[in-house]
Amino acid sequence: MTATEQLELVSANKVHGGWLKRYRHRSGSLDCDMVFAIYLPPQAEQGPVPMLWWLSGLTCTDENFMQKAGAQRMAAELGIALICPDTSPRGVDLPGEDESYDFGSGAGFYVNATREPWARHYRMYDYVTEELPALVKRHFPVDGERESISGHSMGGHGALICALKNPGRYRSVSAFAPIVNPSACPWGEKAFSGYLGDDRAQWAQWDSCELVKRSRESGASRQELFIDQGENDQFLDNELMPERLEAVCAEHGHPLILRRHPGYDHSYFFMASFIEEHLAYHAKHLL
């Protein structure tokens, strides 16, 4: 076993008959130590179970979703493993990595950085689509042929681009309040210019709206996108703008379910209210 394959158990808690565990490992793609969380339902004791990847939003770690969303009860009932990576490299001592909440630590944006000094460590796309899945499949009783993906805010953006860029990889994809057009919102413009440079043509490969526009010519996935959005979300008008993705999907015939929920904001209270419906949606495709 190589150094990048060794897992150090950080914590373990039994919940709804299964086990929520956190592990630390050395990431080769990020060149630093990383922590991820995995919930294995009771069914994993009898054999491999399907996987649902969860990508979290700005400022989050692997713990936010596992502690606040209340997903384990339904995951245990359905027999689905939940895997939650961190949202960025940690402690790599890059200048400015801890100066703001929306760039650097806790804000990897699930892209592969090409601009120095970020390119050495900030390769979150490779980490969540290649390195961590391979690690999980080697060490845990999961079915490598059955995986879906979901996420919130920045993580919703991550889930959408991972699915759109990898046709056939994920059985289903969903998102809560995703950043759908990062090339044209303050959060995305700051992150993309920092990680990718000023060539906006390079940004398009990490933008859900642009991927849908170019799906026929680029071969991007055309699977259904399932999105929930709170109408009282404080970031709705300036950062999220789901109507942009809605318009692009309508224009290009891309299947989209976009549900708007009056009164709900951007918090985990919103996710906790509808996470079981998302799990049921993914179960239809995974099971």
Active site residue 153: yes
- Nearest alpha-carbon partner for 191 in 121, 107, 266: 107
**From the candidates 25, 152, 157, 266, which is the catalytic residue?**
266
The total number of residues shown for the chain amounts to: 287
Q: Which of 153, 172, 174, 208 is catalytic?
A: 153
Alpha-carbon torsion angle 208, 209, 215, 219, nearest 10: -20
**Would you call 126 a catalytic residue per the annotation?**
no
Question: 75 Cβ partners below 8 Å, 6+ apart?
Answer: 16, 18, 39, 41, 52, 81, 82, 279
Find out whether 61 and 164 touch, Cβ atoms under 8 Å.
no
What's the rounded Cα separation, in Å, for the pair 114 and 218? 21
* Active-site residue identified among 62, 207, 228, 233: 233
Q: Is 152 a catalytic residue?
A: no
The residues annotated as belonging to the active site are 153, 233, 266
